Structure 1
Amino acid sequence: MLLSGNTILITGGATGIGFSLAEQFIALGNEVIICGRREEKLNEAKAKLPKLTTRVCDVAKPTERLALLEWVTKEFKNLNVLVNNAGIQRDVDFLNMDKDWSYYAEEITVNLEAPIHLSSLFIPYLQQQKNAAIINLSSGFAFVPKATFPVYCAIKAAIHSLSLTMRYQLRNTGIELYEVMPPNVITELNLESRIKRNSVNSGVPAAEFTEFVIKGLERGDWEIAYGMAEERRTSSHEQSIELFKKMNP
């Protein structure tokens, strides 16, 4: 992937991996737009990175995805990279699902429906651009799941499958499709649960991970997995079973 001179849209880019990617991309000479549903977080990101362009958008809502497409393609004629990064993670106990279904459905909407819809919206536009790319964020949990958050893991497995098929369908369009597979990264993802499990600082720093991602993009690696995510990605079926047992004692 060409690493400079791009115009890049990152969903969920105000914090965590998304914000760290924005930092890396700006340092390499790219124009970066981030969107998120929390205006205060977008403002904080802008204060840290004044070159950022920010946009309030709740990707859980189809109407706001459409509005994002209309605004971005009007304001940024050279947009050529979409990063499907926005995501939420929730603990789900199938023996005690005591919340309204909308609570559980939101995880599916944000993590799976949104990137599918956004990709479908932006692909016709990206086809007109040079050096176009879509970057999907899946996870090492796509390969060996953690039983504490089973829906999240299932969705990331779906994103992996989606990335394979999208890459194949886009092979003659000039749009490159990359899949980024984080390990445990220190972010605000599922923060309340991480506090309860005393694992807030469990994982690798976001900057360390995104530096690795940039190197993978520079090499043109279609799948970019780091640390434990790479171990899970390359494990055999038998090894995956053993890893699952260790992760879920």
Structure 2
Amino acid sequence: MDLASKTVLLTGGSAGIGSEIARLLRSKGAQVVLTGRNPERLAAMQDEGFETIAADLSNAAGVDALIAEWGQRELDILINNAGQLVDHDFRQGTPDADAADDCIYANLSAPIRLITAFVERLRQRPEAVIVNVTSGLAIAPAARQPVYCATKAGLRFYSLTLREQLKDTNIHVLEALPPVVDTQMNDGNPMKKMPADECARQIVEAIEKNRDEANIGMTKALRIAEAISPALARSVTLKF
């Protein structure tokens, strides 16, 4: 896909991978509208010249407000990048059920709701792309983050089936599977982290090349291990 003049809705675009994706897309001529929850980060992106929409995607009301704010604008690319990470570890005590609910909605329900709202809009364009950002942990889970892993695995399978449903249309479905990336969400994670700008570069490249999947960084090795032995892949990630 040629990104010049494309209109993009990018969730979770005010920091981390999202802000780097926004900058790259703009450098290639796309018109990027990004969402986020943090007023200071949104203001910083506005200072860079981006159009922003404040949106809390951890609940239906927040998603519906975003859809209403978008109105009848054209849309070429929908990037479901926003996500939440929640520790849910019974070895450390009773987890916060409300935090789990927010994570489930933000990571799985919100992308589904946005896709459902915008798919007909995307059909109206000569070519369109839906990008769902999942995780290497959608392939093999980490022990202390079962809710996060479950939501990403759910979005992975949703992406696979959505691609099959839309294969004869103008809409391409790309799943991006990052490794652990150097963002605020991963502060305190002892694992080696990929720079956010390199992760974003690989996602944007996958959009341009019309790929079905972008297995990024260590996720490539995890995919190989999973193909050889799912148990082997799980034995590695379950330690974390």
TM, length-normalised to structure 2 = 0.92
Name which of structure 1's ranges 54-63 and 238-247 shifts more when overlaid on structure 2.
238-247
- Deviation for aligned residue 1:237: 5.4
Query: Alignment partner for residue 227 of structure 1, among 207, 211, 217?
Result: 217
How far apart are the structure 2 equivalents of 1:198 and 1:160? 25
2:67–2:117 CA contact under 8 A, matched in 1: yes
Closer/same/farther in 2, CA of residues 125 and 239 from structure 1, 3 Å limit = same
Equivalent residue for 2:206?
A: 216
1:79–1:126 CA contact under 8 A, matched in 2: yes
2:17–2:196 CA contact under 8 A, matched in 1: yes
- Deviation for aligned residue 1:96: 4.7
Query: Alignment partner for residue 58 of structure 2, among 16, 41, 60?
Result: 60
Equivalent residue for 1:19?
A: 19
Equivalent residue for 1:123?
A: 119
1:126-145 deviation digits (Å, cap 9, x = unpaired)? 11122211100011111111
Unpaired segments ≥5 residues, structure 2? none
Unpaired segments ≥5 residues, structure 1? none
Query: Alignment partner for residue 152 of structure 1, among 148, 160, 165?
Result: 148
Within the alignment, does 1:206 sit opposite 2:202 as a pair? no
Residue-pair matches, total: 239
Identity, % of aligned positions: 33
Name the Cα RMSD after superposition.
1.8
In the TM superposition, 1:30-41 aligns within 5 A as: 30-41=30-41
1:73–1:79 CA contact under 8 A, matched in 2: no
1:162-181 deviation digits (Å, cap 9, x = unpaired)? 00111111122311111111
Within the alignment, does 1:78 sit opposite 2:66 as a pair? no
**Amino acid across the alignment from 1:144:** A
1:232–1:240 CA contact under 8 A, matched in 2: no
How far apart are the structure 1 equivalents of 2:167 and 2:154? 20
**Amino acid across the alignment from 1:84:** N
2:14–2:34 CA contact under 8 A, matched in 1: yes
Closer/same/farther in 2, CA of residues 237 and 230 from structure 1, 3 Å limit = closer
- Deviation for aligned residue 1:86: 0.5
Equivalent residue for 1:178?
A: 174
Equivalent residue for 1:10?
A: 10
TM, length-normalised to structure 1 = 0.89
3-state DSSP class of the match of 1:185?
coil
1:140–1:229 CA contact under 8 A, matched in 2: yes
